[in-house]
Structure 1
């Protein structure tokens, strides 16, 4: 392959991507201080030119962990619970060419969503569970058991 043809493929980027994804979002707030969104899956291009991936969530650009042998990828985003309420979120994925365009848009203070992604993954976050550790039903059951135990002890005069 000549230098000119390598350059031509690099400029073209990924064409007709095939993407299969799995998503995960954290839903409890007791043991974590941030909400986590994880997207993993497999991505391939028709012209085999998907060497690097970058993901954008809101205005944060991060490199995507990717296995070159299996085309599997994974990306993780974390933010405060209050900043990620229940709802759908779009994560846009870019190849090398798209990343260069993103950096150019950033340097010119342009919105990043104007750069066309290779593919987009919509993630549904069901919201955070802010329930207490001990439920009111458990407290009521313990109170009834304590009163019942006290009544049995008093009746049988174990004191």
Structure 2
């Protein structure tokens, strides 16, 4: 009887980390803020940044999260504040056009299933994320059609021409 008790204690000690590590965030409440590059004049790439706070119903904190955006997987970076994360996406302006982007956020268990589906060539659309954040990117502004320096130069030429023709009329 004593040996059985010791075996159960040893088994319990091995299962305890597995049971505590495998917690899943229940009923996540998400608050998010998004940012996207507004203009192409000062940047060479479009940047999309999503910052979000996750509060789990079961009080789970500091979980590892991963994002899937259009088949591209990225880890969510934990910030210094508890349960606050950030995801940054950068690419060429042409590859991130204006529109709405859905960021599917997975925990470690969901991310493992996502990677397994990607490796086997299966569709990942059927996988249920922990939650989804929708980001609207209005596109980038490439600047005015005509540069202000050109308008100033043309205005100066027109003023000079008007003054020259008026002077020619006065002298004639």
- Structure 1 counterpart of 2:137: 125
State the Cα deviation string for residues 111-139 of structure 1 (Å, max 9, x = none).
Answer: 2222111110001111121234854x663
Unaligned ranges ≥5, structure 1? none
Give the counterpart of 1:23 among 29, 34, 54: 34
Q: Tell whether the 8 Å contact from 1:13 to 1:50 is kept in structure 2 after alignment.
A: no
Q: Tell whether the 8 Å contact from 2:61 to 2:83 is kept in structure 1 after alignment.
A: no
The structure-2 alpha-carbon separation of the partners of 1:96 and 1:124, relative to structure 1 and needing over 3 Å to count, comes to same
Q: Superposed, which structure 2 residues align to 1:1-159 within 5 Å?
A: 3-4=14-15, 6-8=17-19, 10-11=21-22, 13-47=24-58, 48=60, 51-67=63-79, 69-132=81-144, 135=147, 139-148=150-159
State the Cα deviation string for residues 1-54 of structure 1 (Å, max 9, x = none).
Answer: 965455345445221001000001112112222211100021121121651010
Give the TM-score normalised by structure 1: 0.80
Whichever structure has more helix as a proportion of its residues is 2
The alignment's C-alpha RMSD in Å is 2.8
Give the TM-score normalised by structure 2: 0.75
Q: Tell whether the 8 Å contact from 2:67 to 2:74 is kept in structure 1 after alignment.
A: yes
Q: Which moved more, 1:45-54 or 1:114-123?
A: 45-54
Larger Rg: 2
